[in-house]
């Protein structure tokens, strides 16, 4: 399958790291380091750094993302942030359904779908995370889990909505553990996800969908993972916090 009809997107997920002043320092290092990138680059920073990130990245090739959003427009949802608030802060992307949110904050397939639909309805790009637990892989049910998560996340989405969707395949056992999926495992899972999307929509939607791999991607394994036919970039945690490492990944994704 030809990769040229879809974008390669390298997105950093900073998680709960970097104060606003630390974010400013890292972004000032990143801007010149990756100005020649031949792929889309996004940094998903904590809410408190959105403002500084949007200001510094304006006019550069770096887009700014958030790590979550709420599905209601406004109201009594203490601690939550709406899509409209994110857009006004200069955000263009938002991670939805990261496994850490599913694991620690009660995120379910249903709320992932609500958040993703709200984000795309307002024009944000939703980076929807799916992935199996180690015990699910060992029990041989990886495809069942991916199928359930992808179908639930994309439920009630239209073909137009899909232009604002990226799926990140992130095997939970590979996130922040230093254990990476083999390039074959990553490639097969991303191919499987593309097949589900084709089943739900059609071949054109499937072909143009960006599917990232995420899970301990680093400068030494990135090239092989990104060379997989169905892997169109990465969602990067740890290695997005150091300008030199992130630059290496951007270089690998730019080939």
Q: List the catalytic residues.
A: 98, 170
Residue 65 sits in the site that holds ligand PEP (CB under 6 A): no
d(CA 26, CA 33): 11
Beta-bridge partners for 130: 169
Residue 233 sits in the site that holds ligand PEP (CB under 6 A): no
What totals of helices (H) and strands (E) does the chain contain, helices first? 11, 8
Residue 131 sits in the site that holds ligand PEP (CB under 6 A): no
**CB 53: neighbour CB atoms within 10 A?**
28
Which residue's CB atom is positioned nearest to ligand PEP? 237
Residue 216 sits in the site that holds ligand PEP (CB under 6 A): yes
- The pair of structure tokens assigned to 242 is 């150091």
d(CA 69, CA 86): 8
Residues 137-196 that bind ligand PEP (CB under 6 A): 170, 175-176
Spatial contact of 181 and 213, defined as CB atoms under 8 Å apart: yes
Beta carbon of residue 236, minimum distance to ligand PEP (angstroms, whole number): 5
Beta carbon of residue 174, minimum distance to ligand PEP (angstroms, whole number): 6
Beta carbon of residue 140, minimum distance to ligand PEP (angstroms, whole number): 23
Tell me, by CB under 6 A, how many residues bind ligand PEP. 14
C-beta of 27 vs 217, nearer to ligand PEP: 217
Q: Which of 41, 190, 235, 249 binds ligand PEP (CB under 6 A)?
A: 235
Q: What is the DSSP string of 45-98?
A: --GGGHHHHHHHHTTSSEEEEES--BSSSSSS-TT--BHHHHHHTT--EEEES-
C-beta of 57 vs 239, nearer to ligand PEP: 239
Residues contributing to the site for ligand PEP (CB under 6 A): 13, 15, 170, 175-176, 214-217, 235-239
């Amino acid at each position: 399958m030809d990769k040229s009809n879809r974008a390669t997107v390298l997105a950093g997920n900073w998680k709960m790291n970097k104060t606003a002043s630390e974010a400013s320092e890292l972004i000032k290092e990143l801007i010149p380091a990756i100005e020649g990138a031949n792929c889309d680059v996004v940094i998903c920073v904590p809410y408190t750094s959105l403002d500084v990130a949007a200001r510094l990245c304006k006019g550069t090739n770096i887009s700014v993302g958030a790590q979550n959003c709420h599905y209601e427009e406004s109201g009594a949802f203490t601690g939550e942030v709406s899509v409209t608030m994110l857009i006004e802060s200069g955000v263009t992307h938002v991670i939805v359904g990261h496994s850490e949110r599913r694991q620690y904050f009660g995120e379910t397939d249903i709320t992932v779908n609500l958040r993703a639909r709200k984000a795309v309805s307002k024009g944000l790009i939703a980076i929807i995370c799916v992935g199996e637990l180690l015990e699910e892989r060992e029990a041989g049910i990886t495809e069942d889990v991916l199928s359930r998560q992808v179908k639930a996340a994309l439920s009630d989405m239209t073909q137009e909505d899909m232009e604002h969707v990226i799926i990140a395949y992130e095997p939970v056992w590979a996130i922040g553990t230093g254990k990476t999926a083999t390039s074959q495992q990553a490639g097969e899972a991303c191919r499987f996800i593309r097949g589900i999307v084709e089943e739900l929509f059609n071949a054109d939607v499937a072909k143009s969908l960006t599917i990232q791999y995420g899970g301990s991607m680093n400068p030494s394994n990135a090239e092989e993972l990104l060379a997989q036919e169905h892997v169109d970039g990465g969602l990067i945690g740890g290695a997005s916090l150091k300008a030199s490492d992130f630059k290496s990944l951007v270089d690998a994704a730019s080939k």
